[in-house]
Amino acid sequence: MNRDLPGLTAKTIGSPAFYLETAGSTNSWIKERGNSLPHGAVCWTGRQTAGRGRSGRRWESGDGESLAMSLLIKPSAPTALPLVCGIAVSQALRDLTGGQFYIKWPNDVLCEGRKVCGILCESFFIADRSFSVAGIGVNIGQSAGFFKQAGLHHAGSLKMLCPAVPDMPVIVAEVINRLEPLLLRFLKDGFPPLKSEYEARCVNLGKEVAILSSHGEVIRRGLATGIADDGSLMVDSGGGAVPVSFGEVSVRGIDGYI
């Protein structure tokens, strides 16, 4: 079903746009149609019943309180795509709400120290052609009680943290508008030209961090000193900074979430 995306100005992505009353996973919806849909196709829903998160976690929002959107990129994008999406989402949410949004490496978007957006980018092959899907989930209308009950102590929603909450289609449109120039540059020149924009928003830099495996075990600790050209986090554990690539690891602050 089509539904207008008010304010959409992007020309190279965001069309066709599919509004889904409900979806299992929007990433899967795009993947299943990856062969026939063009570059830039997007789908979105407020009711995602089998959403997928990083490290095999679930990301569900069947209650209409959370936006799930996915965008098809053809051919597939380099691995720093989730970081590029994190910049676009933080810019879009700042524009729309006036709030301050930051990024916890690699791609959690935070407001007032709470995670309001998760990003899962996946690459896949169909008949020898490679595609990427950029999946973005934004917490919009949930209450603090909802997250407490779900055991998501570091999560927050726009409704909890921002004075004005835009409608979902407006958010979809602005994320796409913000992503377009970043993606064009990224697909042409890679991540280096976008690195300073990312670093300016990254809450981990200059802080002591613990690197966790997908099972939550601490693999290393050290000082986060910068971002490498491929989007890896540079961490100095005493012998000089070495890159930590973002596949299946995540970071925490030494004393807490950040």
- Cα distances from 191 to residues 102, 142, 184, in angstroms, run 18, 33, 11
CB of 239 to ligand BTN, least distance (A): 31
CB of 122 to ligand BTN, least distance (A): 9
- Cα distances from 172 to residues 17, 96, 136, 139, 241, in angstroms, run 10, 11, 10, 13, 37
* CB closer to ligand BTN, 57 vs 148: 57
The interface mask with ligand BTN, positions 203-222, x = CB under 6 A, is --------------------
CB of 193 to ligand BTN, least distance (A): 25
Cβ proximity of 109 and 93 under 8 Å:
yes
CB of 155 to ligand BTN, least distance (A): 10
* CB closer to ligand BTN, 27 vs 91: 27
* CB closer to ligand BTN, 51 vs 166: 51
Instruction: Out of 3, 33, 47, 53, point to the residue binding ligand BTN (CB under 6 A).
Output: 53
From CA 16, how far away is CA 20, in angstroms rounded? 13
Q: Which residues contact 23 (CB under 8 A, 6 or more apart)?
A: 29, 43, 45, 47, 48, 49, 68
Residues 101-140 that bind ligand BTN (CB under 6 A): 108, 118-120, 135-137
CB of 53 to ligand BTN, least distance (A): 3
Q: Does 52 bind ligand BTN (CB under 6 A)?
A: yes
* Number of chain residues interacting with ligand BTN (CB under 6 A): 19
Cβ proximity of 61 and 52 under 8 Å:
no
CB of 85 to ligand BTN, least distance (A): 10
Q: Which residues contact 242 (CB under 8 A, 6 or more apart)?
A: 234, 235, 236
* CB closer to ligand BTN, 165 vs 242: 165
The interface mask with ligand BTN, positions 62-91, x = CB under 6 A, is ------xxx---------------------
Which amino acid is it at 82?
P
Phi, psi of 83 (to 5 degrees): -70, -35
* CB closer to ligand BTN, 37 vs 68: 68
Q: Does 142 bind ligand BTN (CB under 6 A)?
A: no
Which residues form the interface with ligand BTN (CB under 6 A)? 25-27, 51-54, 57, 59, 68-70, 108, 118-120, 135-137
